[in-house]
Chains A and B, each alone.
Chain A
Amino acid sequence: MRVVSVAAAVAALMVSTAAMAADKPELRIGSVVAMTGPASALGLPEKNALELLQEQIAADTSLPFTIKFITYDDGSDPTKAVNNVRKLITEDRAHVVICCTTTPTSMAILETVTQAKVPNISLALGQSVIEPVKDRHWIFKTPSTDQLQVTGLVDDMVKRGIKKVAFLGLEDSFGEGGWIALQSVAKAKGVEIVASERFSRTDTNFTPQALKVRQASPGAVYIHAIPPSSALVHQALKRVGYTGPIYHSGGSANNAFISIGKKDVDGALLGTTPVLVYTDLPDSNPLKPVISKFAALYEKRFNVAKVDIFPGQSWDAGNVAIKAAADAVKAGAKLDDVDASRAAIRDKIENGIKEFVGVGGIFNYSPTDHLGLDARSTFISVVKNDEFRLYDAK
């Protein structure tokens, strides 16, 4: 008898959840990230964060819809990204697309999402993904940009009274992005660029470039590269006797930078997102509780020592999508009418996401700004005793 009643209770429960699911519409969030290929170091954490979001959101009954996450791999390949996005749009009928991990893949899908009129939130660094805004009507992104980080660093140079800066960068598209950003920011802030030297990841010697920079006697040096070369260039500058401040791009904000540079990179200043230094933020900063919560969840779920910047980007993208969709449904959008609700969600991302506190910063999207981040979301960190700490500009 008891067995029967338990079984009946379970059956009743199942029926009721099924009924609940049935009377709520379904929001489909499709994402394409680089789980394999050269960008998998970025794409895998992004996929993990989406998985975590799915688990967290499943318990949330306050939303006016149920959420289905569909995630595909693009293998860091633009062609595959386009195919998978098409599949998400036509077969899976996704309301929002989160794609893609890298700038080249994100550029490749622009045409596809624009033609299909589907809102897309990119996880790529490059500014070209969302600019010019009038041609990128359907595209938003969550990661901070070179421009924003360089602005923070150049502001610090100006504060220290530095008038001349030297640029050292990788000779690929990454370095070029930094060079373009530094040129425009330095011009606007009245800082003169006195040297511009290039190197590649496979170089065996960085001293000549360091010598050239030293000869130009800059007040500060800005290095736009990733480890190992960013750390090695830093060492080379020390070796030739350069003693001024050395600034780095966010590309160096990872543990490899310190393990390669060792004592030599002590005092290096890096432009970075809040995730790297959130523990040093004052408790009054609205970002601190949000990041702390996310970091604790992520570190526990995936058993990592310290969360890095990439999972936060897809976490934010997912949350922005859910928030916009909830707003759209509240305003009367019907998720079953896929085309109309896609447009409604896009409008809500652009106009409804105000002072939205995410892991990567405080988002304020607008018709002229599809990144939505400002100076409050970029920080300078300093290497102190083999750790990244928040740099106190005072």
Chain B
Amino acid sequence: MTDTILFLLVDGLTNGLVYALLALSLVLVFTVTRVVNIAQGEYVMLGALTLADLLQGRMPGTLYLLVGGLALCVLLDAPRWRRDWRRALAFAGGLIVAAVAAVALTRGALALQLPVIGMMAVALVLVAPIGVLIYRFTVHPIPNATTIVFVIISVGVSMIVQGLGLLIWGANPYPVDPIASGGLMMGPVFIPYQSFAILIVALLSMGGLYLFSEFTLMGKALQASAMNRLGAQFCGIPVNMAGGLAFLLAAAFSAISGMLLAPLITANYEMGFMVGLKGFVGAAMGGLVDYPLSLVGVMIVGGLESTSAYLASAYRDVLVFSLLIPILLWRNAKQRVETR
């Protein structure tokens, strides 16, 4: 019996950490841009599949998305050519250079056959800019839209990206090598090394985000736009750029989470959505604005998920999503106390 509890605890923690990176992305995006990003889970899928492609020595399909997105960016920039052709040319040139660099980087990585960690870094460089592209296409044109509009847009983005994933990679699952294969017997419980890798990488990413936002100018600009968008604008902070940066970082965190998760469950086109939603339940604990509380939330989600799968497997998702109701009641009560 004790080993059962230990197993559930270890798995709950591992999954909690995966969801934690998602929750972090959601909070980051919401605070800076007021977008409740339902599509956040799709970066999990993109990260995992890109890594799977790179490890198997194929050119990743993500390049199509990236290069196609950059081309679309140039097209959307068309009106500027009449006004200010020099800067438009520089912009288009920059994007073309970026596209070529991305292809060159991938080719180089494939030729060198980098170890898993190296491939993860390359995959990260390929996936994270897609966040910025999606920001450019969906949020940037309508900065003052209401939250509900952004929610609906993000649902659309989620469907489109998942559809593109199916188109590019097909419905087959791809096995992904772990950072370190094998594992450790701790008492009666077998823990794969990948679980430790998840713990370490998740902690490093969170620490990195903290240091970035506290000690760099860009990070402070992010914080300022999160606190008060209009005020930040008056102080000369380019809030649009802050929004793009938030999408970039969020895409990077989610992609990392996908790359850590993939060796445990394989990479496939539909893996992201559920992970995204569970991260959302956790982030709701912190009202989508509070980092520490969101982390508590995802740990509760991870733990509840693994216990409910044990006790009543047919209802495990029902139980996890029902958690939203007490969370919202609790937040509501808390807010009333605070405003009084």
A interface, CB within 8 angstroms of B: 38, 41, 171, 197-205, 207-209, 211-212, 215, 227-228, 232, 239-241, 256, 259-260, 262
Contact = CB atoms under 8 A, between A and B. Distances in A.
Contacts of B266: 228, 232, 260
Contacts of B275: 204
Nearest to B192: A239
Given A208-B307, A256-B172, A228 B314 contact: no
A269 B274 CA distance: 31
A207 B7 contact: yes
A211 B172 contact: no
Contacts of B271: 202
Given A208-B11, A215-B4, A198 B313 contact: yes
B265 A232 contact: yes
B175 A208 contact: no
B190 interface: yes
Contacts of A256: 172-173
A260 B178 CA distance: 12
Given A202-B273, A204-B265, 7 more contacts: A200-B317, A202-B271, A207-B306, A208-B308, A209-B313, A228-B175, A260-B173
A239 B190 contact: yes
Nearest to A259: B175
Contacts of A215: 4
Contacts of B264: 204-205
A202 B271 CA distance: 5
A197 B312 CA distance: 8
Contacts of A262: 175
Given A38-B171, A228-B268, A259-B175, A205 B273 contact: no
A207 B313 contact: no
B4 A204 contact: no
Task: Count chain A CB atoms within 10 A of each CB in B264, B308, B310, B311 and give the residue with the most.
Answer: B310
A212 B261 contact: no
Interface in B303-321: 305-311, 313-314, 316-317
Interface string B1-24: 000100110010011001000000
Contact of B173 (A208, A211, A228): A228
Contacts of A240: 7
A39 B260 CA distance: 30
Interface of B: 4, 7-8, 11, 14-15, 18, 171-173, 175, 188, 190, 261, 264-266, 268, 270-271, 273-275, 305-311, 313-314, 316-317
Given A198-B314, A260-B266, A205 B305 contact: yes
A187 B4 CA distance: 30
Contacts of A199: 309, 313
Nearest to B278: A204
A79 B297 CA distance: 44
B270 A208 contact: no
A156 B309 CA distance: 30
B274 A208 contact: no
B15 A204 contact: yes
Given A204-B261, A211-B310, A228-B266, A41 B274 contact: no
B265 A211 contact: no
B8 A208 contact: yes
Pairs of residues from A and B, 4 with the lowest C-beta to C-beta distance, nearest first: A208-B309, A208-B310, A228-B173, A228-B266
22 contacts: A38-B171, A41-B171, A198-B314, A201-B270, A202-B271, A202-B273, A202-B274, A204-B15, A204-B18, A204-B265, A204-B275, A205-B15, A208-B310, A208-B313, A209-B310, A211-B7, A211-B8, A212-B310, A215-B4, A256-B172, A260-B173, A260-B266
B242 to A, nearest CB: 32
Contacts of B190: 239
Contact of A227 (B11, B173, B274, B307): B173
B216 to A, nearest CB: 33
Contacts of A239: 190
Nearest to B307: A208
Contact of A197 (B175, B265, B313): B313
